A and B are shown apart, each in its own frame.
Chain A
Amino acid sequence: MRYVDEFRDPGLITRAVEEIHRIAEPGRHYRIMEVCGGHTHAIYRFGLKDILPEDIELIHGPGCPVCVLPMGRIDDGLALAQKNDAIFAAFGDMMRVPGTHGSPFEHKARGTDVRIVYSPADALQIARKNPERQVIFFAIGFETTAPSTALTLMRAKREGIRNFSVFCNHVTIVPAIRAILDSPDMRLDAFIGPGHVSTVIGCRPYEWIARAEGKPVVTSGFEPLDLLQSIVMLLRQLRAGEAKVENQYKRVVPWEGNRAALKAMAEVFELRPHFEWRGLGFISQSALRIRKEYADWDSEQRFDVPETRVADPKAAQCGEVLKGVLKPAQCKLFGKECTPEHPIGALMVSSEGSCAAYYNYEYRKTASLVTEISSVA
């Protein structure tokens, strides 16, 4: 088993699709939200929309930690690095995200020491290797990534590495789902639940969605067969009038989550009273900050943070796309002022942004089809 190819088997995909067509109730329009940006990308990348019945509408949720970060936080992180001549370390995904005065890459071009890391451990290593420089790790991500940042901070403290700090922008997924369900303009039937966040928090945190809101939830893997099987499981529940949490991604997601990861998070982080999310506004208890026991490794304690608050560009409809109210192509700037080459908002550059997914997999397909037709005519 290599855990990838098997889940892309064409024969099994056909079976799963046939089952979906068979059990979808005729005349019923299904609105299913996939919360995770990674699921959005998989859906577009594998062309799943093309093989699903038209009456199954997949709605993209806000599970993209880069996309939901307000621009002001990026501005703040870069300002800290610039003012203190510090090394700004962040995941590659952050590099082209627009800030008010440019993206991290653009700041790099103007002299700020911006470096791509693939792990918080890499950022700590940079600090070890450059003892005379301050290193600021711009931490982003949901609960999938927070435990790794936590472990890294624990190591920094244990080793007494003084030139390392974390600018923490970790957010939690459940409050975002709650905000979506509380939104008056959102009508949903069911959820494809987060895949990798669930390896940390388990499946219990979603039980209220089934019990209190009456919506089925199936935590799903990311391969085509995973997503198709999850849709089969959701349709079966909906058909039977059931609402419960099921775990399709059993091979990786433990129902109770990862205790060691949760312990590390609890040791290092606490919940902020509230945090501003792009598109969803201020949500209470939805983001993490570093505890005072680790204050010496908290960029927000070590440095003076400008606390910039910036409104999104007026014409950009990032917020509505994030909530699933608009599809990417319905944003007025999509494909025109806003493309991956010159993005207006993070959704167009993040590897989990729905606009980027649509643009890279779906939009160009349609565009090339138009070119083919017009060149033949």
Chain B
Amino acid sequence: MCLAIPGKIVSLVPDQPHLGVVEVTGVRRRVDLGLLLEDMPTIGDWVLIHVGFAMSRISEQDAAEQMQLLTMLGEGEAAMKEVRGYGLEEPGDFRSTEKHRLGTGNTPTIQ
């Protein structure tokens, strides 16, 4: 069963340290935190829930980084298209650029 959903821990059960209460789209349910004993979540943390057990803590930072990568998709390409579109280059411009680059006076000899 792959189905696992994100839920936010809203409270812990006082006398049962392995249980927490999560809220998923407004509904509150107890989930078992027994698989996260080595990295116990606290109130406000988001966890991934599967068959009533929290499987993993959801990293807000990793999620934000991922969103950032997705936002940047195609930006490099978009920037290139933008620049290529500038009609400022004339055929002769290339040679004049060459002259500037070799401005020290050392003209290359073509054999």
Q: Which residues of A contact B (CB under 8 A)?
A: 1-4, 6, 12, 15-16, 18-19, 22, 36-39, 63, 65-66, 91, 93, 118-122, 140-141, 144-145, 147-148, 151, 194-197, 199-200, 222, 225, 229, 232, 248, 250-254, 258-261, 264, 351-352
Contacts and interface: CB of A to CB of B under 8 A. Distances in A.
Interface in B48-84: 48, 50-53, 55-56, 58-60, 62-67, 69-71, 73-74, 77
27 contacts: A3-B46, A3-B58, A6-B67, A15-B70, A15-B74, A16-B73, A18-B74, A19-B77, A37-B2, A38-B2, A63-B2, A65-B1, A93-B1, A118-B51, A119-B52, A119-B53, A122-B52, A141-B51, A145-B50, A145-B51, A151-B53, A196-B55, A229-B69, A252-B48, A253-B56, A258-B35, A351-B3
Which of A196, A197, A225, A352 is most buried by chain B, counting CB atoms within 10 A of its CB? A196
Contacts of B1: 65-66, 91, 93, 140-141, 144-145, 351-352
A194 B1 CA distance: 12
B46 A22 contact: no
A251 B32 CA distance: 20
Contacts of B58: 3, 251-252
B35 A195 contact: no
B70 A16 contact: yes
B15 to A, nearest CB: 15
Contacts of A4: 6
Shortest Cβ-Cβ A-B pairs, 4 listed: A38-B2, A119-B52, A251-B62, A251-B63
Contacts of B13: none
Contacts of A351: 1, 3
Contact of A148 (B38, B50, B69, B70): B50
A147 B48 CA distance: 14
A144 B63 contact: no
Given A118-B51, A196-B2, A259 B70 contact: no
Contacts of B74: 15, 18-19, 22
Nearest to B70: A12
Contact of B62 (A196, A250, A259): A250
A15 to B, nearest CB: 5
B55 A151 contact: no
Contact of B35 (A118, A253, A260): A260
A148 B74 CA distance: 41
B63 to A, nearest CB: 4
A40 B34 CA distance: 30
B5 to A, nearest CB: 8
A38 B55 contact: no
B35 A144 contact: no
B110 interface: no
B34 A1 contact: no
Contacts of B56: 199, 252-254, 258
Nearest to A222: B2
A36 B48 CA distance: 17
A148 B73 contact: no
Interface string B35-46: 111100000001
B70 A260 contact: no
Given A145-B50, A196-B55, A258-B35, 15 more contacts: A1-B64, A12-B70, A15-B74, A22-B77, A37-B2, A63-B2, A91-B1, A118-B51, A199-B4, A199-B56, A232-B73, A248-B66, A250-B59, A252-B56, A264-B35
Nearest to A221: B66
Contacts of A225: 70
Nearest to B7: A3
A16 B34 CA distance: 37
A1 B32 CA distance: 23
A18 B56 CA distance: 32
